[in-house]
Amino acid sequence: MSDSNPISTRNAPIQTADVSKADPSTDLENGLCQIPSQKEGQVKNIIQVETVRGLKSRHTQMIAIGGAIGTGLFIGSGESLSIGGPLFLLLGYSLLTLLVFCIVTATTEFSSFLPVRGSSVAYFGHRFVSSSMGFALGWMYYYVFAITVPSEITAAALVIDYWPSPVNIAVWITIMLVVIAGLNCFPVKVYGETEFWFASIKVIGIIGLFIMALVITCGGGPNHKAIGFAYWHSPGATNEYIVSAASGRLVAFIATLRFSVYIFAFTPELLVITAGEMQNPRQNLPTAGRRFFIRLVIFYILGAFLIGLICPSNHNQLLGGSSDASASPWAIAAKDAGIKGLESVINVVILLSAWSAGNSWLYLATRTLYSMATLGTAPKIFKRCTASGVPYMSLGFTSLFSLLAYMNVSSSAATVFNWFVNLVNSGAYVSWVCVCVIYIRFRKATVAQGLDVAGLPYRSRLQPYAAYFAGCVIFLLLWLNGFTVFFSEQWDTSTFVTSYVGIPIFVIFYLGHRLYTGWGGPWLIPCEEVDLVTGIAEIVAAEVPASRRSGRWFESFRFLFA
More confident of the two residues 267 and 441? 441
Dist CA 400 CA 139 (whole Å)? 16
Q: What is the pLDDT of residue 113?
A: 80
pLDDT band at 548 (very low <50, low <70, confident <90, very high): low
- Decide if 109 contacts 295 (C-beta within 8 A): no
Q: What is the pLDDT of residue 296?
A: 78
Would you say residue 30 has pLDDT above 50? no
More confident of the two residues 3 and 180? 180
Would you say residue 10 has pLDDT above 80? no
Segment 142-169 shows an average pLDDT of 80
Q: What is the pLDDT of residue 204?
A: 85
Average pLDDT, the chain: 77
More confident of the two residues 379 and 295? 379
Dist CA 230 CA 509 (whole Å)? 51
Q: What is the pLDDT of residue 26?
A: 37
Dist CA 357 CA 359 (whole Å)? 5
Segment 21-34 shows an average pLDDT of 36
Segment 538-561 shows an average pLDDT of 53
Write the DSSP assignment of 333-394 as a string of letters.
HHHHTT-TTHHHHHHHHHHHHHHHHHHHHHHHHHHHHHHHHHHTSS-GGGG---TTS--HHH
More confident of the two residues 282 and 33? 282
pLDDT band at 27 (very low <50, low <70, confident <90, very high): very low
DSSP code, position 116 = -
Q: What is the pLDDT of residue 274?
A: 59
Q: Which range among 235-239, 329-333, 345-349, 458-462 shows the weakest confidence by mean pLDDT? A: 458-462
Question: Per-residue pLDDT tens for 517-537?
Answer: 877 777 888 888 887 777 666
pLDDT band at 151 (very low <50, low <70, confident <90, very high): confident
Would you say residue 472 has pLDDT above 90? yes
Dist CA 382 CA 385 (whole Å)? 8
Phi-psi region of 280 (alpha: psi -120 to 50; beta: other; left: phi over 0): left
Q: What is the pLDDT of residue 64?
A: 58
Write the single-letter amino acid at 295. R
Using alpha carbons, select from 545, 100, 74 the residue that is nearest to residue 355: 74
Using alpha carbons, select from 205, 268, 184, 203 the residue that is nearest to residue 58: 203
Long-range interactions of 461-465: CB distance < 8 A, separation 24+: 462/102, 462/105, 463/105, 463/106, 463/109, 463/439, 464/439, 464/440
- Decide if 289 contacts 108 (C-beta within 8 A): yes
Segment 539-556 shows an average pLDDT of 54
The helix or strand, by DSSP H or E, that contains position 463, with its residue range, turns out to be none
Q: What is the pLDDT of residue 52?
A: 44
Q: 19-561, what's its fold?
A: Amino acid/polyamine transporter I (1.20.1740)
Dist CA 393 CA 367 (whole Å)? 11
Task: Sketch the domain layout of the chain as residue ranges.
Answer: 19-561
Q: Which ranges in 480-556 belong to alpha helices (H)? A: 493-500, 502-517, 536-542, 552-556
Q: What is the pLDDT of residue 529?
A: 84
pLDDT band at 253 (very low <50, low <70, confident <90, very high): very high
Dist CA 392 CA 386 (whole Å)? 7
Q: What is the pLDDT of residue 554?
A: 43
Q: What is the pLDDT of residue 34?
A: 38
Q: What is the pLDDT of residue 562?
A: 46
Segment 187-210 shows an average pLDDT of 80
Question: Per-residue pLDDT tens for 170-181?
Answer: 888 888 888 888
Distance from CA of residue 419 to its chain's centroid?
17
- Decide if 535 contacts 22 (C-beta within 8 A): yes
How far lies 500's CA from each of 422, 436, 490, 504, in Å? 8, 20, 16, 8
Dist CA 200 CA 543 (whole Å)? 30
